Each structure stands twice: as structure tokens, then as C-alpha cells.
A = this chain, B = another copy of it.
Amino acid sequence: MQQVHEDRYTTRLSTRPEQIARRDSVVHAKGGTNPPIDPSLVRDFERDGFIVLEDVFSPKEVARMRGTANEMRDYPDSLADETVISERDSGAVRSVFAIHRQTSDFDVVARDPRLADVARYILDDEVYIHQSRLNYKPAFKGKEFYWHSDFETWHAEDGMPDMRALSMSVMLTDNHPQAGPVMFVPGSHETFISCVGETPEDNYKSSLKRQETGIPDADSIAQLVDEGGIVAPAPKAGSVVIFDCNTLHASNGNITPFERMNAFFVFNAWSNRLKAPFAANSERPEHIAHRRVEAPLAPLSKVTGRLS
């Protein structure tokens, strides 16, 4: 693992967990520029590491996205095999990756200014999609997802150098507080939890079903929760949850009759493109961590770029 870029967030190299104070800005935009969302939301994002934008997409747009999402789940044969991830126990489809590359509907969503302009502002750069996916949490039998920082994995396994990326989760169903919504630890994005344990070969094949490497230690989780609490927004369909790449999050299982579905996009700053992995022997495959990206995300054409 020859590294040109300095490793400012070492992880999976020690036998003891460590905490490293964040070395990057959260909101990269310089003062003086006008944000595309309410300035108080930008401040909330900086403080908490996540925000909720209500009613971003109309019911008509949501219906169309949900239709496409259901089709992808029900007819996965039309998708690249490796992009379809199923639940460990039940075999039900849990995620489909690279959705903006596999359907024009989700390509349009990724480039929609209601999302991409917010990403450009917060990251203060041109942006591209590092990863996209549909997440299905089935009714009655959805499994939990344990606490983690996405950045820890993207840094260790994908070679993302700095904390200059964020995720946007577009709600395709109404969320119920007890149906396993994502739980965030406010303020946790300011601390990088360096995890113990080496990355096993082909770790991604199992980690997308259940993560066993890059797991924060219980003491660090308890400490950050003690300081920041746990908040689990459960917004309506059409809302968008935006969270920083290093915000500690998890989700409970879902035994309610409410199915949950969202479309998930990771925006990375163009200047923060991937290097060699910082703590793994090989890169994860292209459909999970995009490297073949020629240019930043282009704005939607005013003529063709409409979802509905």
C-alpha cells in the first residue's frame, strides 16, 4: 500500500481503539456565499452532522421513484448481478447499488439541483457520486444495521482521503419511528473513531450484509451518545436526510408492517477523489466505490432533465 497522500485518519492498524479529532471542516463553503437552503439548516448540519429537508420531492415524483425502485427489486434480472444485495437470513433484496448508473430516473435525481447544489455548497467544490443505492427494509423482518461511520469504511477500503463527502437519503416511503429509521448521534461527526482489526480479503461481500470490520468500540459509542444523544428522524416520503460522511449512525430492525425504502446518494468533492485504500490490500469493486468518473456531475439540462 504505497501512499502518496498523507493518512490523517489511521484506522484498522492498531490493536486499541483511538479517537482522532476531525481535521476537516464540516461546512466547507466560505462565509459570504448564499446557501441554497435556509442558513439555519446549514448551521444545524455543521453542529449536528445531519439535517432533514422536508417535502423536497412531490408526491408525483415520489410515486415515480418508488415505481422504479419496486421494479428493480422485483425484476433484478435486468440489473448487474453484483449490484443486488440480499438479506443474510431471508434472501430478500436489501440493497441495489449504482442506481444512478442503471436507471435514468435515478441519474436525474442525483443531478437534481435540489440535491446536487446543496452538496456543492456544503463541500464547496464540484461533486460526483461516490456511491448510490436503493435501501429496502422489508416489513416484519428487516434486520438492524450496527453503529458505524461511513467515512471510516470509505477511507480504509476505498481510499477516500479527507472528510469532504456527504450522503443524501431520499425517502420513498413515509417513515415510522419504530420501523427502523436511521439513528444519528448528533455531534459525533467531530470525532473519528479509529477501529481495531485488519480488513479481510473481499470484506465488502459480507460487510454489506453485516459489518464485522470497522466497527467502533462500545466505549467510544457510549461516550459520543452520552455527549450527543440519539436522534432518529422519521420524515415523510419526499423528504431528504443529509448527513456528513463521519456522523455515527445505525438502524434498528423492522418488525412493523411498514416497509421502508429510500434512495441513497453519496456526494464526494471532486478534489477528494479516491486514492489507494488506506487500510485494505485491494480496492472495492466499481459498483460500490466509483473510480471510473470522468468529470464532475453535470447540471440537469433544463429541457430533458425532469423526473415527472
A180 at the interface (CB under 8 A from B): yes
Instruction: State A253–B147 Cα separation when bound (angstroms).
Output: 14
Residue in chain B with minimal CB distance to A229: B176
Residues of A251-267 at the interface with B, using a CB-CB cut-off of 8 Å, are: 252-253, 255-258
Chain B's closest residue to A176 (CB) is: B230
Convert A230-273 into 0s and 1s, putting 1 for each residue whose CB lies closer than 8 angstroms to a CB of B: 10100000000000000000101101111000000000000000
List the B residue with the shortest CB-CB distance to A231.
B178
Q: What's the number of copies of this chain in the assembled complex?
A: 2
Contact B221 A257 (CB under 8 A): yes
Q: Is A1 an interface residue (CB 8 A)?
A: no
Interface centre among A139, A222, A255 (most CB of B within 10 A): A255
Using C-beta atoms within 8 Å of the partner chain, give the interface range for chain A.
Answer: 20 to 34
Assess whether B257 is in contact with A178, with CB atoms less than 8 Å apart. no
Our pick among B140, B147, B178 for the contact of A252 (Cβ within 8 Å) is B178
| Residues A257 and B177 in contact, CB atoms below 8 Å apart | no
* Measured CA separation A140–B230 after assembly (Å): 13
CB distance from A278 to the nearest CB of B (A): 27
Is A204's beta carbon under 8 Å from chain B?
no
Verify B255–A144 contact, CB threshold 8 A. yes
* CB of A225 within 8 Å of the partner chain: yes
Would you give the shortest CB distance from A220 to chain B, in whole angstroms? 10
Q: Any chain B CB within 8 A of the CB of A62?
A: no
Which chain B residue lies CB-closest to A226? B257
Interface pairs (5), CB distance under 8 Å: A178-B232, A178-B252, A180-B252, A222-B257, A250-B255
The 4 closest A-B CB pairs, nearest first, are A222-B257, A252-B252, A225-B257, A178-B232
